[in-house]
Amino acid sequence: MPEIRSMTGFGRAETVTDDYRILVEMKSVNHRYLDLSIKMPRRFNCFEARLRQLLKEYIERGKTDVYITFDDYTEGSRRLIYNHSLAGEYLAHLRQMEQDFGISNDINASVLARFPDVLVTEEGSDDEEKLWELLEPVVRQAVQNFTNEREREGANLKKDLLGKLSLIQDCVEQIIAFSPSVVEEYRTRLYNKVRETLSDAGLTADEGRIVTEVTIYADKVCTDEEMVRLQSHTAAMQKKLQKGGSCGRELDFIAQEMNREANTTLSKANNLQIADTAIALKTAIEKVREQVQNIE
């Protein structure tokens, strides 16, 4: 069963031999989608597509930065290039400046060599497949370490969320327990108020009509539907957390729906006990919404 993973994490792997050293480091933060940034030596640029494909095997969401360092200790890995034509252009312009301004030209070879791009270093030619064979296992080890850390953090997030969902269930059960007496009290108060108003106005009370109208208005403070939906959403979130895998987007959507039901419940509350419980419910749901933002 796949584990819940956090979107934040760090991973590192290194291999060192007599001929080379490869270091791969990775870190990530929350992001709605997968955003990969790979910084590596130019000689590895040809592997960018392969690296992205490899990383996508392990990562689905998060802004992830990958840093690759490569030190080649073998002889002939770099060579010096002398740009003869560019050096000639520099020299020609310097001589022209000497004539134009009547100034001495003290240029010599060592000074000319320091001009931009006269002498440049160039990487030696590489066997791409051999280079990939060196790079791939280090990257895989780094991303595996990275994934392990995300899963450890994900386990903590899962435990925390299940605790918060248990609190939400308790709040829902309390509101369900309070609701019948609250609706009945409201219906009785409304019924008595209507009869009193009609009596004060000298009007005859139609008992059947009064009961019907009172029932309609009393239903407006009933939260049965909201509680049923909240129970359903809570169970769905618990199920997805237990199933694991990349479920952050789905959990975020469920949390939004739960928040909507909590807002409706709070707007209907005409009893201090239910209002206090609805506030605790909404607070717990807000905490869930914040926490699921960290899940891949």
Cβ 248 vs Cβ 292: under 8 Å: yes
- The 10s digit of each residue's pLDDT in 232-262 is 999 999 999 999 999 999 999 999 999 999 9
| Residue 197: Cβ within 10 Å count | 11
pTM of the model: 0.71
State both tokens at 173: 């059960």
- The 10s digit of each residue's pLDDT in 102-123 is 888 888 888 888 899 888 876 6
Distance of alpha carbon 241 from alpha carbon 251, whole angstroms: 8
In the chain, the domains with their CATH numbers are: 9-74+128-151 (3.30.230), 78-123 (no CATH), 153-292 (no CATH)
- The 10s digit of each residue's pLDDT in 213-226 is 555 555 566 788 89
Cβ 180 vs Cβ 279: under 8 Å: no
- The 10s digit of each residue's pLDDT in 173-189 is 998 888 766 656 666 66
